[in-house]
Every structure is written in structure tokens, then in C-alpha cells.
Amino acid sequence: GALVYQYPRRTICKSGTSMRMECQAVGFQATSVAWYRQSPQKTFELIALSTVNSAIKYEQNFTQEKFPISHPNLSFSSMTVLNAYLEDRGLYLCGAGTPNTGQLYFGEGSKLTVL
Amino acid sequence: GDQVEQSPSALSLHEGTGSALRCNFTTTMRAVQWFQQNSRGSLINLFYLASGTKENGRLKSTFNSKESYSTLHIRDAQLEDSGTYFCAVDTNAYKVIFGKGTHLHVLP
């Protein structure tokens, strides 16, 4: 079956430092990867959508300068939260998709706490 | 307004009872997914539907594209069913929009 693993599951970083999170697709080819953030007590906001061999599309309020994304192959993507501050805390979710089904398969998320 | 609306926003059920959660959408959608976010914050995939009905144990989900809604039915609720239930709508290829969730509290 199609599975998506995210690492780390939880991390704590100091204010102003950066944190990198990874997303691994197993059992299918992840041609597209979407990154979401769930801020405390809120729903999931789309940060950006990355498609292999295409430009990464960032949503309003999110920038490449703040959330650089790498999607080097069909099984892996990473995103970094640069200069993290309190407002960046939350659960970061990765969803990976394949054109065969059009469905995004989601990982369990990476929880970021900023001190 | 929001493209994906969930109701109710919060729900309390006694163990052994059941209810239905609803997801209305105002945008063209190809499919709907349902998730449970448990007390640890992890997101658990429940269903992906492009049409019709799916059932898994005590959970059943339906998708009505004509009337633009989906439902998640829970029967014989257990304590471990507590959490927040999100529906997420596939608007087109890989563009998924989440609702704000229904907070379910199962009471002993």
C-alpha cells in the first residue's frame, strides 16, 4: 500500500533557529508533494505544492525564503522552517500524490515547538 | 465564505451511541477524505471517497457530489474515538482544502 512517513515526529527549537523536516513516500511515486501547517487550535493551511520537474507553488502568506522546499526525486521531499518564531509552531503535514489516482496520501505530521 | 464547512463544530456522545458528522463544500470537488486527529495530535486517515459509500468497522462515509456534501457516521462510539475529525476536499489535482474540524468527545 501507499504510505507516507514524516521525520521528525516532534521537535523543539529555539526562537530564531531553523528546523528541517522530511517526507518519505513508500509504495508509490510521489510526483507531487503538498506541505501544510496546522497552527494551534486551527485547521490545516496549504503552504506550498511541489511537483517534480515543475516550479514549487507557494500559497499566499508563505514564501520560499521562509519555507524552502526540496523535492529531488519521486520518493522524498523536505521542507525547512527558517528562523522559526512562536507563530511558526504547529503540526506540519506532508501529503504526497501520484497521477495514477490523484489522491494525496498524508503522513502523521511533524510537530514543531518553538521556545 | 469557507469552501469547506464542517458541522457540528463540537459533539459529545456517550459510549455505545452514534452520530453523523457533515462536510459541506461550495467548490467543485473530485473526492473527499476524512481524518481523525487523535489526542496525541497524529492524523489518521479514515476514508478517501470519489463517490458512493465506504464502510470500515464502526465508521461509514458517504459522498454526495450532486448536493455537495459528505458525511461520516460513527456507531457504537468508544472512548478512543475522541478527537478532532477533519474532512478534506480534493478540488483538483493535489489541491486539497481542509475543513475546520469537528471536536468529538466520547463520554463514559
Smallest Cα distance from B72 to chain A, Å: 18
For an interface test with B, the pick among A108, A110, A111, A113 (most B C-beta atoms closer than 10 Å) comes out as A108
Peptide bond connecting B8 to the previous residue in cis, omega within 30 degrees of 0: yes
CATH class of B4-107: mainly beta
Question: What gap in Å lies between CA B51 and CA B101, rounded to an integer?
Answer: 21
- Is the pLDDT at A101 greater than 80? The verdict is no
Cβ neighbours for A70, distance < 8 A, ≥ 6 positions apart: A77, A78, A79
Which CA distances in Å does A82 have to A53, B7, B97, B105? 24, 36, 25, 36
Q: Where along chain B do its domains lie?
A: 4-107
Q: How does the average pLDDT of chain B come out, rounded? A: 92
- For A34, which of B33, B41, B96 is closest by C-beta distance? B96
- Is the pLDDT at A85 greater than 80? The verdict is yes
For the record, the C-alpha cell of B11 comes out as 459533539
| Cβ-based contacts of B93 with chain A (< 8 Å) | 32, 97, 99, 102
Pick the residue from chain B with its C-alpha nearest to A50: B94
Smallest Cα distance from B96 to chain A, Å: 8
- Is the pLDDT at A103 greater than 90? The verdict is no
Tens of pLDDT along B74-98?
999 999 999 999 999 987 656 789 9
Total of domains in chain A: 1
Contact in structure between A69 and A50 (CB atoms under 8 Å):
yes
What range defines the domain where residue A62 resides? 3-114
Confidence at residue A100, expressed as pLDDT on a 0 to 100 scale = 66
Split at pLDDT 50, 70, 90, the class of B29 is confident
Give bridge partners of residue A12 from the DSSP assignment: A113
Smallest Cα distance from B77 to chain A, Å: 23
Confidence at residue B93, expressed as pLDDT on a 0 to 100 scale = 58
Confidence at residue B28, expressed as pLDDT on a 0 to 100 scale = 75
What CATH number is attached to the domain comprising A53? 2.60.40.10
